[in-house]
Amino acid sequence: MKTHLLVVFFASLAASTASAQLFENLQKFANRIAVGDPLSESETGREGPKSICLEDLDADGKLDFAVSNLDGSVSVAFGSGGLAFSEPRHFPTGAVTLRELICADFNGDELPDIVTAAPIEGKIHFLWNEGGQQFRLGTPLDAWEITRNVASGDFNGDGHLDLAVAGR
């Protein structure tokens, strides 16, 4: 069975109406986007989303999304406007499975890159944004066993984006 990611958009609402509006949106929203590399044949049969980031990855002014999948791939769908997205493109990382992912410009080229954690291998994987909806898999960074979470920010105040990694 293919796992799908349901993308739901709703405006900020008062607390009393938020859950009712979300339920109404879920009932009406029929567009489900398949994620997980369809060519992946994982031994455990696990696939599907684990983490998502929303970012204008192709610099066209429309939000795109990237998803880390349990099959070790990253799926990227580019926004076409409104609730429409392209068919997802799948980028295998070579990891058995992935967890949290973030989108940020880590190499200073003004294009958001994708970074994700691979807990079994204890590595951080980079997908460098080459522009034109193209990503290049970088050399993984060794972290430690059960690396699950990543965060970014200018932690040391030097004006450059830093990466924080959490694991065991």
Residue 42 has a pLDDT of 52
The whole-number average pLDDT for the span 62-89 is 90
Place 26 in a pLDDT band, splitting at 50, 70 and 90.
very low
As a whole number of angstroms, the distance between CA 27 and CA 99 comes to 28
Q: Report pTM.
A: 0.75
Per residue in 13-32, is it b (16+ CB within 10 Å) or e — as a string? eeeeeeeeeeeeeeeeeeee
Report pLDDT digits (tens) over 130-166.
999 999 999 999 988 888 889 899 988 998 888 888 8
pLDDT at 62 over 90: yes
Report pLDDT digits (tens) over 82-117.
778 888 999 999 999 999 999 999 999 999 999 999
Q: Give the number of other Cβ atoms within 10 Å of residue 36's Cβ.
A: 24
As a whole number of angstroms, the distance between CA 92 and CA 20 comes to 38
Q: How many residues does the chain have?
A: 168
Report pLDDT digits (tens) over 37-54.
555 555 544 456 788 999
